[in-house]
Amino acid sequence: MRASLRRLATRDRVYQTLVHIGKEPIQGGRTGKSIAQLFTGWPPPAEFPSRLGHPDGLTLTRIFPVVVQTRPVELTQNHASDGRSATVQTPLLKYRHPIIVLSQLFLFALTYYFSFLLRFDFNLHEPFTHSFLKTLPVVVSVKLLVFSYFRLFRGWWRYVGMSDLLDIIKAAAISAPLVYLGVYLAHGMLFFPRSVCVIDLTLTICAIGGIRFAVRAYTESARVHLADANTLIIGAGSAGSAIIRELRGNGKVKYDPVGFIDDDPTKQGMKLQGVKVLGTSEHLPRIIKENDVAHILIAIPSAAGKQIQRIIDKCRACKVDFKTLPAYGDIINGSVSVGHIRNVRVEDLLRRAPVQMDLGRIREKLQGKVVLITGAGGSIGSELARQVANVEPGELVLFDQSENDLHKIDIDLAENFPRLDYAALVGDILDRDRLSDVMAQHRPHFVFHAAAYKHVPMMEKNCFQAVTNNIFGTYHAAHLAREFEVQDFVLISSDKAVNPSNIMGVTKRVSELLILGLQHQRTHFVSVRFGNVLGSKGSVLPLFEEQIARRRPVTVTHPEARRYFMTIPEAVQLVLQAATMGKGGEIFVLDMGEPIKIVDVAHDLIRLSGLEPERDIPIVYTGLRPGEKLFEELKLDEEGIKPTAHEKIRVLEGGRVSSRQVEIWIKELEARTNAKDVNGLIRKLREIVPEYSPSQEILALAQESVYEPLTMSMSAGSPSVKWTRKQSS
């Protein structure tokens, strides 16, 4: 290999077959054919001359993913210092398209000739020889036109697939009657057997399709033998089969699949895509040793977290690199590709049974409709945007005050949903005029209200801003939704709204009550309540990852602190499902599974980084922060909970609130917020939400307010506070 590179760098002429994969040319035998240059994915002829004359030369890794040559080629090195680029001069590539067309015309003539031979048992004689020669131009011309219409003279043959084969079948099927008609119009039907058209149809499909699949098989065979590392795929199912196809069709990947591992006894010894199931996970150490395995791909998107944990424990014991595919719910379009291969993450270890989505119902509800998402740049809002885009809304309106976050989701949608009609609009939900203009212009059918402040300790120090954004912002959005007769309004709530011990939680509970009071016959208002989502901005997971990357101690608040966790895609799927069920006035609660110790999440993340807790990375307990609880709840004891048609969604009896009561609450909260009256604000919030227990942080701030706490007593573990006005000195 090094000798070949030296020859390329010194402009030597190369006579033996060179197979280029990635950046390295590898010297091979003399069995390759020059014609392979034409069919292995080179750039279109219109693109090549411009690149050939580029002053920086022609980059082999961009233009020649796989190149097979047997004739001398002159290569000149333009960047001898780093070896990044080379200039390749070959006249054959300039005429790639004409040569492909001529070769196909030759095959058309050949299949037509063999049709006559087969029809007459290889004993072709006059007058049929004359008939063949006389009708040949008509046959070739008709096929040329039809196959051109289906664009079958272009494309990269190394990527040929079933869709290409179907196009070939369509073109051949259409050509057959047109050939018959053309011959009849040009020459009549004298000495022209109709069965020739049927035989020619079959031979054309076999020849035109066969040569394409032969080229694909040849290039894939070259890549398989030259891949970097032997790879085992765990999971001999549809995902594993799809990954094999992707690996063989992608010259840039470093995985050479040598076998499958699957615990299903009925699959032992069977082959998928030509790759054999070598054994079960119990045989993993032996199989790794026998096959010199360097990588393991876990291709079980439906696997539960415990199963993933068991697999990676075995991989770690065998000291091999391992990667995985995300859960099906994390893959928007449901298909699996090489691009989905990634490192194992903590969320993979927390996987539960896949969410069973009623996609038909969601699509029926949202397809063709205008959907507005507030807070569209946030973790939940941006995932909502992606999943709503996937069900083809009439228009998607993204609304967020963060220019940077909105820009990110704007780019994401433009790349992944090029046909989507959407608008990314900067604005604040507190700017009622701006939000009103947006609703007046776009007339949304659905509003998903995800805009809110969420960080508990920070909101304890900024209580007025929390009330203003979370409560008043929700009020503005909901009131305008009713004014513009939005069909459905969905509030993204939180488990912190249950028995709140912090400002963030109580503002969410008040927001739930507000929209109960704004119910309208033309607008359905519902809330969806769930716990922590993994990987959201500012959450514990990115913090742990940063601490581990810097080899710093991982900080956990309390050894017994537990939280409900859910992945962002799973939470959004259930939000969309709940939105299709709402009739107005419901509070939907998502099944978050069992609460998980935060310290266990820290341990898993440290191990996934190849380190050991305490030995390599210590755990430091910092104590609960202001407003935090040891564990969260999803419902109040007095709230009645009922099942729904979806096993992971429950519905609460939200109670009744009058619109008049809502208006009174808003006015009183505004008065206390404008006066910067902390004690008055807390008192009003406790009046609205009696179960609210203010934190010590808030009580400390209250000392500086116009009101001061007179007494404090503990009842059932919660502080009970009474207020009196401060006496002037």
Helix-helix angle 432-442:473-483, to 10 degrees: 30
Give backbone dihedrals phi and psi of 70, rounded to 5 degrees, phi first.
-125, -15
Distance (Å, rounded) from C-alpha 277 to C-alpha 374? 49
Distance (Å, rounded) from C-alpha 137 to C-alpha 208? 18
- Of residues 439 and 353, the one with the higher pLDDT is 439
Checking if the pLDDT of 90 tops 80, the result is no
Checking if the pLDDT of 71 tops 50, the result is no
Distance (Å, rounded) from C-alpha 725 to C-alpha 289? 78
Token pair, residue 535, equals: 């990987």
Name the pLDDT band for 21 (thresholds 50, 70, 90). very low
Please tell me the predicted confidence (pLDDT) of residue 401: 95
SS3 at position 240: helix
- β-pairing verdict for 271-272 and 275-279: antiparallel
Segment among 236-245, 282-291, 496-505 with least mean pLDDT: 236-245
Across 98-111, average pLDDT: 85
Query: Most confidently modeled of 127-136, 199-208, 337-346?
Result: 199-208
Token pair, residue 724, equals: 């009196």
Looking at the DSSP bridge assignments, the partners of residue 723 are 709
546, with CB counted inside 10 A (0-12, 13-18, 19+), is exposed
Across 428-437, average pLDDT: 96
Angle among Cα 633, 639, 640 to the nearest 5 degrees reads 120
For residue range 625-674, list pLDDT tens digits in order. 777 778 776 555 555 678 888 888 888 866 788 889 999 999 999 999 99
Name the pLDDT band for 159 (thresholds 50, 70, 90). low
Q: What is the SS3 assignment for 129-169?
A: HHHHHHHHHHHHHHHHHHHHHCCCCCCCHHHCCHHHHHHHH
Segment among 22-26, 459-463, 636-640 with least mean pLDDT: 22-26
- Of residues 160 and 436, the one with the higher pLDDT is 436
- H or E element at residue 528: strand 524-529
Please tell me the predicted confidence (pLDDT) of residue 252: 63
* Cβ–Cβ under 8 Å, residues 532 and 566: yes
Please tell me the predicted confidence (pLDDT) of residue 670: 95
- β-pairing verdict for 321-324 and 295-298: parallel
Distance (Å, rounded) from C-alpha 147 to C-alpha 397? 43
SS3 at position 379: helix
* The CATH fold of domain 359-533+567-592+633-653: Rossmann fold (3.40.50)
Checking if the pLDDT of 149 tops 90, the result is no
Segment among 80-89, 92-101, 564-573, 575-584 with least mean pLDDT: 80-89
Residue type at position 65: P
For every residue of 27-84, DSSP letters joined together read E--S---TTHHHHS-PPPTTTHHHHHT-TT-B-HHHH-SS-EE-S-BEEEES-TTT--
Token pair, residue 434, equals: 């701006």
Distance (Å, rounded) from C-alpha 322 to C-alpha 301? 15
Distance (Å, rounded) from C-alpha 199 to C-alpha 447? 60
Distance (Å, rounded) from C-alpha 507 to C-alpha 493? 10
Per-position b or e across 216-234, b if 16+ CB within 10 A of its CB: bebbbebbeebbeebbbbb
Across 113-130, average pLDDT: 81
Checking if the pLDDT of 385 tops 60, the result is yes
CA 406 to centroid of chain Cα atoms? 18
* Cβ–Cβ under 8 Å, residues 654 and 641: no
Please tell me the predicted confidence (pLDDT) of residue 51: 37
Task: Give the count of beta carbons closer than 10 Å to the beta carbon of residue 123.
Answer: 7
Give backbone dihedrals phi and psi of 232, rounded to 5 degrees, phi first.
-100, 140
Name the pLDDT band for 74 (thresholds 50, 70, 90). very low
Round to the nearest angstrom and report the end-to-end CA distance of the chain.
91
Token pair, residue 30, equals: 């003399």
Write down the residue that tokens 């058209």 correspond to.
197
Distance (Å, rounded) from C-alpha 91 to C-alpha 45? 11
Please tell me the predicted confidence (pLDDT) of residue 611: 84
CA 343 to centroid of chain Cα atoms? 15
Which candidate in 365, 369, 454, 496 is catalytic? 496
* Cβ–Cβ under 8 Å, residues 14 and 7: yes
Name the pLDDT band for 378 (thresholds 50, 70, 90). very high
Token pair, residue 197, equals: 């058209």
Give backbone dihedrals phi and psi of 27, rounded to 5 degrees, phi first.
-75, 130
Closest CA to 52 of 25, 13, 91: 91
- Of residues 115 and 729, the one with the higher pLDDT is 115
Closest CA to 35 of 90, 100, 109: 100
Distance (Å, rounded) from C-alpha 116 to C-alpha 199? 8
Distance (Å, rounded) from C-alpha 271 to C-alpha 75? 42
Mean pLDDT of the chain: 77
Distance (Å, rounded) from C-alpha 214 to C-alpha 210? 6
Token pair, residue 629, equals: 């609880």
For residue range 292-340, list pLDDT tens digits in order. 898 899 988 877 778 888 888 888 888 888 888 876 555 555 566 666 7
Please tell me the predicted confidence (pLDDT) of residue 684: 94
pTM over 0.75: no
Checking if the pLDDT of 368 tops 70, the result is yes
Write down the residue that tokens 């149809």 correspond to.
201
Q: What is the SS3 assignment for 597-622?
A: EHHHHHHHHHHHCCCCECCCECEEEC
Across 613-621, average pLDDT: 91
Distance (Å, rounded) from C-alpha 53 to C-alpha 464? 65
Distance (Å, rounded) from C-alpha 543 to C-alpha 549? 10
Across 53-71, average pLDDT: 36
For residue range 485-528, list pLDDT tens digits in order. 999 999 999 988 888 989 999 999 999 999 999 887 789 999 99
Please tell me the predicted confidence (pLDDT) of residue 67: 37
Distance (Å, rounded) from C-alpha 142 to C-alpha 698? 84
Distance (Å, rounded) from C-alpha 252 to C-alpha 242? 17
Going across the sheet that includes 321-324, the strands are 271-272, 275-279, 255-261, 229-234, 295-298, 321-324
Task: Give the count of beta carbons closer than 10 Å to the beta carbon of residue 484.
Answer: 18
Write down the residue that tokens 């961009």 correspond to.
62
Residue type at position 688: I
Checking if the pLDDT of 10 tops 60, the result is no
Across 346-366, average pLDDT: 77
Instruction: Report in angstroms the alpha-carbon separations of 407 from 53, 399, 424, 506.
Output: 37, 11, 8, 31
Give yes or no: 496 in active site: yes
Q: What is the SS3 assignment for 295-323?
A: EEEECCCCCCHHHHHHHHHHHHHHCCEEE
Across 123-140, average pLDDT: 81
Q: Which segments of the chain belong to CATH 3.40.50.720?
A: 228-349, 359-533+567-592+633-653
Q: Which CATH superfamily is domain 228-349 in?
A: NAD(P)-binding Rossmann-like Domain (3.40.50.720)
* Cβ–Cβ under 8 Å, residues 396 and 389: yes
